[in-house]
Structure 1
Amino acid sequence: MAPVAARRAHNPIEQTASTSVMQREKKIKMDKKINKTMKRLKVDIAKISKDQRSIREEQRKIREKLEEIGSQCAQLREETELIFKQKAGNQVLLILVFQIIKARQGRDFGKAASLACTLRFVFSNHLFYARVISS
């Protein structure tokens, strides 16, 4: 008679049962591996989500800063324009003053008086606009 181990190896029922056990063990091993991979993926997804939220928050802050800088640029443009307007008005006043002085030196008092009236008118309007602009 053959040894017991040899007889079992040739017994189809025992062979099927051992194959089934091996397949079940393989399946369990594979399921554990899949579960481990799934857990790792879930952790990775959670980290990525957190990073994306952080990125969106930073983008929002940058957008707000850019909007603030844009409004400051617009305000600076307006202030620069007002300064140029005031400069132009001051130049007109100076030109009139120098023309009055020149007319008086040339003893043309009629022209000097006319220029003085113009100077008063321009100066009063200049002050009015300067108050309106600064308000």
Structure 2
Amino acid sequence: MEHLSLLLSLLTLSSAATAANIHGKREGEGEDNLSPPSHCHRSENFVSFRRSGSSQKRHWICTQKRRMTRKAKPSIKRLKAEIKEMNAQQKRIKDRRRVVKRKFEQIEAKHDQLKRETKIIMQQNANTQLRLHSLSKILKARQDRDFVTATDLTQSLRELILKQNKQRHT
């Protein structure tokens, strides 16, 4: 009889365990235990329901995007700071180029002015050389007592001086 009661108690325990497995309960868990059903994934802090097919894939993709976004935020901030610094550098470079261009234009203007002045000085020097040459011929003609040649040379010197003065004023 003892054997029979022992056998009955074992049967009731095994049938209760089988019924618990059918309803998603594990062995040894009572009715008051609030464990998640078998189709749930249990983590330390939360319970998430398993998803099937494309829903699970979408969930995984969204989770990955969130993780990537969290990981990317510091690098995005760093890149934005680098871009800001590069923009500032480019602005400084543009400003320097503007200054250099202005200085170059000033130097070029001075160069052109010096070229014009040099050309004028060279022309004046050539004119002075012509005058001196004419004067020396006039003096030589007067020393030789060739007054006709001296008069002709004096007249040509006057014409040369008038011509040079006209060129200088225009």
Partners of 1:114 and 1:27 in 2: CA distance = 105
Counterpart for residue 148 of structure 2: 110
Q: Tell me the distance in 2 between the aligned counterparts of 1:73 and 1:51.
A: 32
Query: Equivalent residue for 2:72?
Result: 34
What is the distance in 2 between the residues matched to 1:19 and 1:12? 16
Alignment-derived partner of residue 100 in structure 2: 62
Q: 1:18 aligns with which of 25, 43, 56?
A: 43
Structure number having the greater helix percentage: 1
Aligned to 1:5: none
Tell me which residue corresponds to 2:134: 96
The alpha-carbon deviation at position 67 of structure 1 amounts to 2.0
Higher alpha-carbon deviation: 91-100 or 61-70:
61-70
Matched, 1:85 2:110: no
Over residues 15-45 of structure 1, what are the superposed CA-to-partner deviations in whole Å (9 max), with x where a residue is unaligned?
A: x231896x9x998665433211111111111
Cα shift at 1:75: 1.7
- Which position in structure 2 is the counterpart of 1:129? 167
Distance 1:62 1:104, change over 3 A: same
SS in 2 for 1:128: helix
Structure 2, gaps ≥5 residues long: 1-26, 28-36, 47-59
Q: For residue 107 of structure 1, give the secondary structure of its aligned residue in structure 2.
A: coil
2:53 matched to 1:53?
no
Deviations 1:58-105 (A, max 9, x none): 112212222222222122111111111111111111111000100011
The higher-RCO structure (CA 8 Å, 6+ apart) is 1
CA spacing shift, 1:118–1:18, aligned 2, 3 Å = same
Equivalent residue, structure 2, for 1:44:
82
Q: Does 1:120 align with 2:161?
A: no
Aligned residues: CA RMSD: 3.2
Given the two structures, how large is their TM-score scaled by the length of structure 1? Answer: 0.74
Structure 1: which 5+ residue stretches go unaligned? 3-10
| Residue type of the alignment partner of 1:56 | K
| Alignment-mate amino acid for residue 91 of structure 1 | Q
* Count of residues paired in the alignment: 125
- For normalisation by structure 2, the TM-score amounts to 0.60
Give, as a single letter, the amino acid of the residue that structure 2 aligns with 1:34.
Answer: A
Kindly tell me: are residues 27 and 99 of structure 1, through their superposed partners in 2, closer, same or farther at Cα, counting changes over 3 Å?
A: closer
